[in-house]
């Protein structure tokens, strides 16, 4: 009887030890030694998708074991989208510790139509910049060429390096299209016009129409009378795009298209690819005027009298 009990006890201990060793094995590194690699967590990935990617790419042996290790980390072990440097030579516990910490590289989205100061504000907030790095970005950036995009950026890069990444992105996205362009405008003129189209349009669909109307006015040597250009001149950190008053229209500025003919002296914002392409391929039309009603719908006119009628119909009734 005693021998039978001892045998059962030994078998029980062996089973417990086997389970323990198996559990330990599940969290051990996939390899003894391995270099660090960049592992990118997309902005729209769920935790299950992230863990699945770790398993698929050979960083972990067992998804449940890693999920357990992740829960041991502070804050519930939530993985934030971004870039992390991890290795197949790390245990599941070490991996969980790194992935539960702030990422080395962060996703930053710069929307279309911002002036570079607004982009600098976003970068400063998302990357934890001090004022010096923010100013370095501004000094290195040219308005119109900070390409609107979602970037995965190393927080340790300088403002000048970040500016270079965005300028390179502009060239990558637009250089081929511009090389095929034969419309007669210089690159700076195209970007300047695209910046007006970006700020004057409510959606990408109407951008070729707006570009065509502005080009019609330029072709007739008419003043453009565009608020957005003057807003750029008058904008401050309190309000980068202030409402324009009648008195503002007499301000002496190269951005005042109510006083001077032609395009503003430089771009007024960073246009997206849709606005840039709209300038290269504008919609041919006979319109010279346009306005947007309270719902955002655009209304165009061929003559000033028709434009006044649209103003009375769609704006003064508000």
Global pTM? 0.84
Q: Is 259 exposed, middle or buried (CB count within 10 Å of its CB: 0-12, 13-18, 19+)?
A: middle
Q: 213 CB contacts (<8 Å, ≥6 apart)?
A: 285, 287, 288, 289, 290, 300
Q: Are 233 and 255 in contact (CB under 8 A)?
A: yes
| Average pLDDT rounded to a whole number, residues 9-15 | 48
Q: Give tens-digit pLDDT for 177-201.
A: 999 998 899 999 999 999 999 999 9
Cα–Cα distance for residue pair 50/40, rounded to 1 Å: 9
Beta bridge partners of 114: none
Question: Long-range contacts of range 252-261, CB-CB < 8 Å, 24 or more positions apart?
Answer: 255/229, 255/230, 256/229, 256/230, 257/223, 257/224, 257/225, 257/226, 257/229, 257/230, 258/223, 258/225, 258/230, 259/223, 260/223, 261/221, 261/222, 261/223, 261/224
| Average pLDDT rounded to a whole number, residues 32-41 | 85
Tell me which residue of 217, 193, 164 sits closest to 268, measured CA to CA: 193
pLDDT above 60 (res 235): yes
pLDDT, position 75: 55
pLDDT, position 24: 43
Beta bridge partners of 300: 290
160 or 31, which is more confident? 160
Q: Give tens-digit pLDDT for 192-234.
A: 999 999 999 999 999 999 999 999 999 999 999 999 999 999 9
Strands 289-292, 298-301: pairing kind:
antiparallel
Q: Are 193 and 211 in contact (CB under 8 A)?
A: yes
Residue 126 in tokens: 């998302």
- Going by pLDDT thresholds of 50, 70 and 90, the confidence category of residue 111 is very high
Domain positions in the chain are 25-103, 106-175, 183-314
| Average pLDDT rounded to a whole number, residues 235-259 | 95
pLDDT, position 3: 56
Cα–Cα distance for residue pair 19/138, rounded to 1 Å: 59
């Amino acid at each position: 009887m005693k021998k039978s009990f001892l045998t059962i006890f030994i078998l029980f201990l062996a089973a417990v030890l086997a389970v323990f060793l198996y559990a330990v094995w599940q969290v051990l590194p996939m390899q003894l030694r391995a270099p660090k690699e960049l592992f990118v967590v997309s902005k729209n990935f769920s935790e299950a998708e992230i863990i699945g990617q770790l398993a698929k790419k050979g960083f972990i042996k067992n998804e449940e074991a890693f999920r357990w290790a992740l829960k041991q980390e502070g804050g519930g072990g939530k993985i934030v989208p971004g870039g992390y440097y991890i290795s197949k030579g790390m245990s599941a516990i070490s991996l969980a510790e790194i992935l539960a910490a702030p990422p080395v590289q962060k996703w930053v989205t710069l929307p279309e139509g911002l002036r570079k100061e607004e982009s600098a504000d976003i970068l400063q907030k998302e990357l934890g910049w001090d004022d010096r790095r923010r100013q370095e970005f501004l000094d290195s950036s040219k308005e119109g060429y900070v390409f609107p995009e979602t970037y995965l950026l190393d927080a340790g890069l300088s403002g000048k390096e970040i500016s270079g990444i965005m300028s390179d992105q502009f060239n990558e996205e637009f250089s081929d299209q511009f090389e095929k362009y034969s419309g007669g405008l210089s690159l700076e003129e195209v970007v300047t016009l695209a910046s007006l189209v970006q700020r004057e349009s409510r959606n990408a669909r109407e951008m070729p129409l707006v570009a065509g109307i502005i080009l019609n006015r330029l072709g007739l040597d008419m003043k453009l009378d565009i608020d957005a250009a003057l807003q750029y001149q008058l904008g401050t950190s309190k309000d980068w795009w202030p409402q324009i008053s009648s008195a503002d229209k007499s301000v002496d500025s190269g951005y005042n298209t109510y006083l001077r003919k032609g395009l503003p002296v430089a771009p007024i914002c960073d246009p997206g690819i849709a606005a840039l392409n709209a300038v290269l391929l504008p919609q041919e039309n006979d319109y010279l005027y346009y306005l947007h009603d309270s719902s955002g719908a655009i209304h165009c006119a061929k003559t000033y009298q028709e434009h006044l009628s649209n103003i009375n119909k769609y704006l003064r009734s508000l």
